Amino acid sequence: MRVAIFGAGRIGPLHARTLLGADGVDSISITDLVPERAAAAAAELGLAHVEAVELAMDAADAVVITASTDDHPALIRAAVERGLPTFCEKPLAASLAESIEITSVVEASGAPFHLGFQRRFDPAYVEARRLIDSGEIGTIHTISMRSHDPEPASEEFIASSGGMFSDLSIHDLDALRFLTGQEAAEVFCYGTARGFPLYEKYGDYANAVALIRLADGTPVSATWTRHDPRGHDVRTEVFGSRDSVAIGLGPRTPLRSVEPGVPPPAGPPWHIFLDRWDDAYRDELLAFVDVARGKRPSPCSARDGVEALRLAAALTLSAREGRAVPLAEVPS
C-alpha cells in the first residue's frame, strides 16, 4: 500500500514514523503547501517528496491528511472522489455547515474514511468505556471533564483555529460521546478571555466552564483553559453507583495536592499534547491501516465529526448569548 501524507507540520511527520513500521505499507510520500517544509521532512525520514497534490493522490492507495483545517475539505473531496481510503485529523472543516457538506460527499463516495480523534485509542479511555458498557460503573451519576493547554497559542493560530470549543474542547466532546454512547440534549457555557486580551481580540475564549445534559439526563461538567503553568492536563472522572474512575490521573498529572503529607506527583509532568498522546496517535494510525486494507470498519466516521462540532457550536452560542442551548437548535 502506497500512502500519501498531506501536511508536514508536527503531526504529519509523527504519523509518517508510525506508518514506516506498519505492516502492508510499502511507500510513503509527503506533500505540503510549503514545499521546503515537506522536502525537509522527506529528507529526514527517507520519504518521497511530491509537490503537486494531484500527482500525490494519483500515485496513492490511501491518504493521510494533517494539513491546516482550511485545507481539509478540498483534500478530503479529492481523495474520496478517487475512492481512496482517507484519514483526516479533526476537524472536518472550519465550520459546521462545511463539515455537514463534506460529510455528504464522504458518505456518497463510499470510500473508507477515518476522522482523527486520538483519545478513542488511549488505553484509559478504552477501559473507561468498557466499564461503562459492561455496567461495572453502574448508573452514571455525574461526569467531570477538563482539558488544560500548557500555554496560549500564537496569534496566527488563534485567528484561524475556529475558536476554543471547535479546537480545544472538541476532543472532550467527542470523548464524551465515545465513552457514553449518548448525545447531548442541552448545554450551558460561560467563557472569558480573562488575562489574555489576544483571545478577546478574535472573539475567542481562553477559559470556559460548561454544563452538558445528556439525552438520558446524565449531568456533565467541563472546564477548559489555554494556560496551565504546570503542563498539559487532560482528565475525565466518571462517578457511578458501583464505581468511580479517573482518566489522566497518575504520576505525570500536572497537579499538586496541598493536603499535609501528600507528596507531589513523581513526574515529569506532561508538558505538551505529543507527550500525553504518543501511544494513542500510534494506535490510531495503525487502526487506519487496517481500515484501508478492509480489515475493520472505521472507528470514527465523518458523521462523528459533525456531531462533535454540533456540540461545539452549541457551546459557542451559549457562551455568546448567556443562555442554555438545546442541541435541537443546531443544524445536523
Paired residues of 220 in beta bridges:
143, 212
Count the alpha carbons within 13 Å of 93 in the hemisphere toward its beta carbon.
Answer: 22
Question: Domain 2-118+282-300 is classified in which CATH homologous superfamily?
Answer: NAD(P)-binding Rossmann-like Domain (3.40.50.720)
Residue 123: exposure state from Cβ atoms within 10 A (0-12, 13-18, ≥19): exposed
CATH number of 120-272+307-329: 3.30.360.10
User: Which residues, 6 or more positions from 52, have their beta carbon under 8 angstroms from its beta carbon?
Assistant: 31
Q: Evaluate whether 2-118+282-300 and 120-272+307-329 have a shared fold.
A: no
pLDDT in tens, the chain (332 residues): 999 999 999 899 999 999 998 999 999 999 999 999 999 999 999 999 999 999 999 999 999 999 988 899 999 999 999 999 999 999 999 899 999 999 999 999 999 999 999 999 999 999 999 999 999 999 999 999 999 999 988 888 888 788 999 999 999 999 999 999 999 999 999 999 998 999 999 999 999 999 999 999 999 999 999 999 999 999 999 999 999 999 999 999 999 999 999 999 998 999 988 889 999 999 999 999 999 999 999 999 999 999 999 999 999 999 999 999 999 999 98
Phi, psi of 30, rounded to the nearest 5 degrees: -135, 140
Q: Could you tell me the pTM of the whole model?
A: 0.94
Q: What are the domain boundaries of the chain?
A: 2-118+282-300, 120-272+307-329
Neighbours of 266 (CB within 10 A): 10
